[in-house]
Amino acid sequence: MLAYAAGEAAAFDALYARHKGGVYRYLVRHCGNAGTADELFQDIWMNVIRVRATYAPSAKFATWLYTLAHHRLVDHWRARGQAVLVSIDDDADDNARNAVDALPAARTDEPLARVVNRELASDLGAALAQLPPPQRDAFLLQHEGGLSLAEIAELQDVGVETVKSRLRYAIARLRLELAAS
Amino acid sequence: MTDERDLDDPALAAAWRAQANEAPPPALDAAILAAAHRAVKSAPAKIGPGDEATRPWRWWMPLATAAAIGVVAIGVIQQMPPAQDPAGAIVSDTPPGAPGSAPAKERKAEAVPAQAAPPGVSETTPQAAAPAPAKRARTETARAQAVPQAPPPPQRQEPSRPIAGFAAEAERDALRDAAPRAATPEPFPARKDAPAAQNVAPATPPLPPMTAPAQPPAPATAPDARKAQTADAFVAPETAARRAAVPATPSATAKVERGGAGQAAGALAVPAPPPASADATTPHSTDEWIAHIRRLRAEGDETAARRALADFRIAFPDADARLPPGLQAWAATIPR
């Protein structure tokens, strides 16, 4: 990003090629609409181009990029009256927490054998859409953006433990969907 | 406390990667990349130490400054009055028949250029037929030799004068020297015009300093006199020469000496009789006025005394206050 800010256009090409898929899927999984995702995607990258001169490398570029994407998504939800980001205390009751805690730990052989087919992968996407937005956001930030727990916590403005809980719930629910399918 | 292993499920991650194949449309990619390239190309380039816009202008700035100063200096020099050439003034003013000036006259005849030399002079000087460079060298030699032999009168050395007063002074000199100059042949015919008279140092002694007007200056006030003097200062050289050729009447000369330049111009053009009020015995100072009035009163000429009082009042606005007490009582009975 610093190279691009200095006028090297090829640096932007590399950044875009590296992060365009993750950001796009992050938006598509959140919006569920390719058209809206395209619009938000373009806005995010135009913002990257616009603020290149003031970019300060205080964190990884991916963290900064997904922060822009997250804020743009929140703005989109607020504009549509769908600001549903809630605390961890609101998106899971005790029963669900207990059920998730009762799930067995992941085993590498069993799920891997079951998700090899394409149909199961699509079911996974549908299961993700059923997750509460904070959990889905945390899951997408971890798996699409490659952000650490601390980075996700900073981005979502919550504690690391909260992020862990959100991820745990999201993964548990996805496992349930995978088990059901 | 959540176990970190619960958050890292490789099977789920693999499944997620398997289905994560969405990508932005190629048109969107092209639009974003084009915008990125466009933004970089349109951005202003960084300014380096050698990229200053004023750099190509710097080299000729001193030249421009020097040229401007030169133009101003030339303009100032052209506006300055011409410096008098002491050698030229000396040579032109030396009377040809003066004693001890025969060698100088011969040298002057040598120095005359061929095209400007009068026939008589060229006939008497065979050296005038010499080539021009040799003549020029001889002219320079003659001038250098003529300087110590005919030093100018010290009282006539006036290195510089204001431009406005220059012509007036020349005109005054021309009037003064009109009669003797008419009989004196000019050694240099090319200098017969009036501007040459500015450089002429006449042999006549300088005039005495100007005195106050002999008559009350009622018709010619100070601004009028200044205007007339300014008008005379810009008189054409031909006019000045014509004026110099006019026989100077005593009245005209007196007026010029009195400083009445406006009246002098009219008197020079057409010699006119002196005005009726002009009187050589007209008093100048307060004491003379008082003595004059007393004398008239003593002679019993009350009318003349009243007229003198009126003239005194015109000459001095505070004339009544200047009068002695005896005359003040008498003057109080006479209205202004």
Residue at A84 is within a domain? no
A114 and A45 in a common domain: no
**pLDDT tens, residue by residue, B172-226:** 655 555 544 444 444 444 444 444 444 444 444 444 445 444 444 444 444 444 4
Residue ranges per domain, chain B?
102-150, 162-202+213-272, 286-332
CB B4 within 8 A of CB A17: no
Region for B100 from its dihedrals, namely left if φ exceeds 0, alpha if ψ lies in -120 to 50, beta otherwise: left
A75 and A98 in a common domain: no
Q: Nearest Cα to B141, choosing from B117, B116, B106?
A: B106
Q: Which residues of B touch A121 (CB under 8 A)?
A: 15-16, 18-19
Q: Which residues of A touch B39 (CB under 8 A)?
A: 49-50, 52
pLDDT by residue for chain A (181 residues), tens digit each? 888 887 788 888 888 888 888 889 888 888 878 888 888 999 899 988 888 888 887 778 888 888 888 888 888 888 877 655 554 444 445 555 555 555 555 444 455 555 555 666 677 778 888 888 888 888 888 888 888 898 889 888 889 899 998 988 888 888 887 777 6
Structural domain containing residue A135: 94-180
CA atoms of B71 and A168, how far apart (whole Å):
89
B127 burial via Cβ count (<10 Å: 0-12, 13-18, 19+): middle
Residue at A149 is within a domain? yes
A72 and A98 in a common domain: no
pLDDT of B112 > 70? The answer is no
CB A74 within 8 A of CB B60: no
A21, A45, A79 — which closes off a domain? A79
Residue at A88 is within a domain? no
Residue at A87 is within a domain? no
- Position B328 scores a pLDDT of 86
Residue at A103 is within a domain? yes
* Shortest alpha-carbon distance between residue B16 and chain A (Å): 7
Q: How many domains does chain A have?
A: 2
A106 and A176 in a common domain: yes
CA atoms of A137 and A71, how far apart (whole Å):
12
- Position B70 scores a pLDDT of 95
Greater pLDDT, B331 or B87 = B331
A136 and A72 in a common domain: no
Residue at A85 is within a domain? no
A104 and A173 in a common domain: yes
Residue at A120 is within a domain? yes
CATH of the domain at A165: 1.10.10.10
Looking only at Cα atoms, what is the longest distance across chain B?
A: 152
B50 burial via Cβ count (<10 Å: 0-12, 13-18, 19+): exposed
* Shortest alpha-carbon distance between residue B57 and chain A (Å): 29
Residue B330 token pair: 């008498």
**pLDDT tens, residue by residue, B14-40:** 777 777 778 888 888 888 888 888 888
CB A140 within 8 A of CB A115: no
Whole-complex ipTM: 0.72
- Which of B4, B8, B16, B29 best probes binding to A when mutated, by most A CB atoms within 10 angstroms? B16
